[in-house]
Structure 1
């Protein structure tokens, strides 16, 4: 059997602060601070873009890390954020969940962690 390639943690957070979901600078800050929190080295600056139409319009962010990437998708209508962390270097998923919940001030969370490969 081949070795595992990496770890994926998917976090769905509900009842978040709408002002944070809408703030592109805050999302940049989130990406960089999350990297520090889980011991990942950012590769370049976070990319944050607003796109979509109607209820699907919102901010998304992508932070490359030396061992893969972090993606963030914000739903302002229902005040939700979806964060995916994938890395071929293991990280503390519990620490990541705690940081995400605190940063977006979310009230409810669903999360899954799995090994890839």
Structure 2
């Protein structure tokens, strides 16, 4: 039997409606050489969590794998309110980032952290609000 969710369960308000979480999906193309460094990617995950005011849960996990044009890194930083994850492509120096949290955060801050670490030639994103 489902019980009614307490008011704080959905604490993100978007367009006058309460939502459980916000999920930002980012594509950053043409990044600098930092994208090829596991250490820099590790630092990026920690810094991104800190800058959007999230509580990190344990250390990030970052690994490189794949073959040929699919070689890249995947990484995840668990946060108390969900996760920050990415996949990269070494050959094209692209990063595909997801930031999901039931605690609100600013899109502009995520952009700033990406630009600081990777200086991409372009960044696009989409925000989904989950009910």
Matched, 1:16 2:27: no
- Quote the RMSD (CA, aligned, Å): 1.2
Structure with max Cα Rg: 2
Matched, 1:70 2:84: yes
- Equivalent residue number for residue 105 of structure 1: 119
- Equivalent residue number for residue 16 of structure 2: none
Unaligned ranges ≥5, structure 1: none
Check the 8 A contact 1:62/1:69 in 2, yes or no. yes
How far did 1:98 drift?
1.7
Q: Residue 48 of structure 1: SS of its match in structure 2?
A: strand
Q: How many residues align?
A: 115
Matched, 1:7 2:22: yes
Provide Cα deviations, 1:70-93, integer angstroms capped at 9, x if missing partner: 001111111211111000101011
Match of 2:45 among 6, 21, 31: 31
Structure 1 stretches of 4+ moved >6 Å: none
Matched, 1:52 2:30: no
Which TM-score applies when normalising by structure 1?
0.92
Q: Residue 86 of structure 1: SS of its match in structure 2?
A: strand
How far did 1:102 drift?
2.0
Cα distance between partner residues in 1 of 2:73 and 2:30: 16
Q: Residue 99 of structure 1: SS of its match in structure 2?
A: helix
How far did 1:95 drift?
1.1
Unaligned ranges ≥5, structure 2: 11-18
